[in-house]
Amino acid sequence: MPAQVTASAANVQAFRGEIVDFVGDPALLGAGALRHHADGVLVVRDGRVAALGPAKATLRTLSQDAVVTDYRGKLIVPGFVDTHVHYAQTDMIASYGAQLLEWLERYTFPAEARFKDPEHAHEVAEFFTDELLRNGTTTAMAFATTHKHSVDAIFEAARRRSMRLIAGKVLMDRNVPKAVRDTAQTGYDDSKALIEAWHGRDRLGYAVTPRFAPTSTERQLDLCGKLLEEHPGVHLQSHVAENKSEVAWVAEVYPWSRSYLDVYDHYGLLCERAVYAHCIHLDAEDRQRMAATGAAMSFCATSNLFLGSGLFDLAAAHAAGIRVGLGTDIGGGTTLSMLRTMAESYKVCQMAGQTLSPLQAFYLATLGGAASLYLDADIGNFDVGKEADFVVLDPAATPHLARRIDRATTLDEKLFALMILGDDRAVHATHILGSRAHVRGGA
C-alpha cells in the first residue's frame, strides 16, 4: 500500500516511482520518444501535472505540506486510452460462434434493444466505467445505443468519476430491427440535443455515431455531415472495412462508391476527430484519404481475432502517416484490459510479418490514443499542464510476471513482459486528475 508521508489535504500531491511516458511516436523518433525516470516524481497541482523529474531533485522543490505517495517498485504510466468500445455490449462479451453480420443480428441488436430501459442503461454504465478504471483506462471513446438516454447514462457515470470520455448515440435508420432503429430526422434531433446538453461539459465530449454505412440511409449520413458542420469540435466514430462480407454488402448498398471508406468521404465524414474502427480491408487510396483528412484508425486486435475479421496492417498505416490508437471493441473484443489488447496487437503484427515494439505498444495505448482522439493537448503524457490521469502498474502482480521481470535487464524487456503477461491484476491503482479512483483490492 502506498505510504502517505503527510496526511495534509494540500492541493499539491507527488507520486514517486518508476515513471515512463512518451513525448512523441517511437515509430518516428525511436528511443528519443521515451521519457523515463527509474526513480522519479510526478507532481500534481489541482489535478494537473505541475512537474516531472528525478526523485531527489524534485522532492527538494516541494513544500512541506505536499502529500507524497510512495509507489517505488511500481511503474507510473499515463492513463490508458481506449479509442473504440461499446459500453452497451458489456453483457454480451464472449458470445459464441459468429462472424460480424450474423453476430450483430444474433447478439448485438438484442443486447442493445434492452437499453430501452433507462435503469438498465444506468446499471451497465456504472459497471462499465468501474471496469475501465479497474483496467487502468482513464479515457474512452464509446458507442452507446440508438436510445438517447443511453448516452445520458454513460456521460453521467463518467462525470461522477471525473473521467475524460467521448460518447455518442448510435444512428441506424435501416437494415436493423425496429427496436434499435431511428429515423434520419430523430437521429439528427436527438444527436443535436445531446451535443447541446453534454459536449464540452466538464471532461466530456460528443461523437456523432453512425454505426456503419449499411445501417444508415444516405439522408442519415448527410445529416451526420451537417451535425459536424454545425458543431465544430465534436467527434465522429464509426466502423469501416472490418469483414469481407460487410465490405461486399456496402458495395451493394452504395453501388456508386469507389470503396467502403469512400461512402464516408462522400458525406464529409473523413475529418479530424473522426475515428474509424478496424480499417482492415482498405487500399492505398483509402489510406491516403485518411492521412490527408486527419481521420484516425482504431486497431481492435482482440475483436478482429475473435470475430475472425482479419489482420490490421499497422505498417501500412504508419507508412501512410495515419493516426492510430488501440481499441478493445467490447463486446466483439474479449477484454477491457489495454495490456491484453497490446499483447494481442503484438500477435496480429506477428501474423502479418510485422512487429510491435513494447515502446510502440505503450505509446499507442497512451499518447498515440490521445492523439488519434485529438486530445493530446490535454492527456496522453506527463507534460506540465496536462490533466494528471495515470496508472500504477505492479510488475510483481502475479508470480510468473514477477519472476520474468526479475530477469529483465532493460526497460523494454520489462514493458514487454507487462504487456504480454499483464492484465487487470497488474493495475495496482488508477488516478484521475491526481486522485486515486481505483486501487487493487479496494484498500
- Interaction mask 275-314, Zn ion, x per CB under 5 A: --x-------------------------------------
Minimum CB–partner distance for residue 419 and Zn ion (Å): 22
> Is residue 246 at the binding interface for Zn ion, with CB under 5 A as the rule?
no
**Piece in contact with Zn ion (CB under 5 A), picked from 41-49, 150-158, 322-330, 373-381:** 322-330
Among 18, 25, 329, 389, binds Zn ion (CB under 5 A): 329
Minimum CB–partner distance for residue 251 and Zn ion (Å): 20
- Interaction mask 54-83, Zn ion, x per CB under 5 A: ------------------------------
Helix, strand and coil percent figures for the chain, each rounded to 5:
45, 25, 30
Candidates 385, 443, 440, 436; CA nearest to 161 is: 436
How many residues sit in the footprint of Zn ion (CB under 5 A)? 2
- Residues 75 and 426: their CA atoms lie apart, in Å, by 10
Q: Which is nearer to Zn ion, 277 or 426 (CB)?
A: 277
**Piece in contact with Zn ion (CB under 5 A), picked from 329-337, 361-369, 375-383, 414-422:** 329-337
Q: Which is nearer to Zn ion, 275 or 437 (CB)?
A: 275
- Residues 43 and 51: their CA atoms lie apart, in Å, by 5
- Residues 178 and 109: their CA atoms lie apart, in Å, by 10
β-strands 390-393, 427-432 pairing: antiparallel
Residues in 260-279 at the binding interface with Zn ion, rule: CB under 5 A: 277
Note the Cα 368 to chain centre separation in Å: 10
Q: Which is nearer to Zn ion, 212 or 346 (CB)?
A: 212
DSSP helix/strand/coil, 107:
helix
Minimum CB–partner distance for residue 277 and Zn ion (Å): 5
Task: Tell the residue number behind the cell numbers 483490492, with chain if given.
Answer: 441
Q: Which is nearer to Zn ion, 311 or 408 (CB)?
A: 311
Q: Which is nearer to Zn ion, 44 or 151 (CB)?
A: 151
Strand order in the sheet with 427-432: 48-54, 34-45, 12-22, 67-78, 390-393, 427-432, 435-439
Minimum CB–partner distance for residue 83 and Zn ion (Å): 11
Assigned C-alpha cell, 230: 454545425
Candidates 40, 8, 149, 29; CA nearest to 390 is: 40
Minimum CB–partner distance for residue 252 and Zn ion (Å): 21
Question: Which residues have CB under 8 Å from 262's CB, separation 6+?
Answer: 286, 289
Q: Which is nearer to Zn ion, 41 or 92 (CB)?
A: 92
Minimum CB–partner distance for residue 241 and Zn ion (Å): 13
Q: Which is nearer to Zn ion, 33 or 104 (CB)?
A: 104
Q: State the residues that interact with Zn ion by CB under 5 A.
A: 277, 329
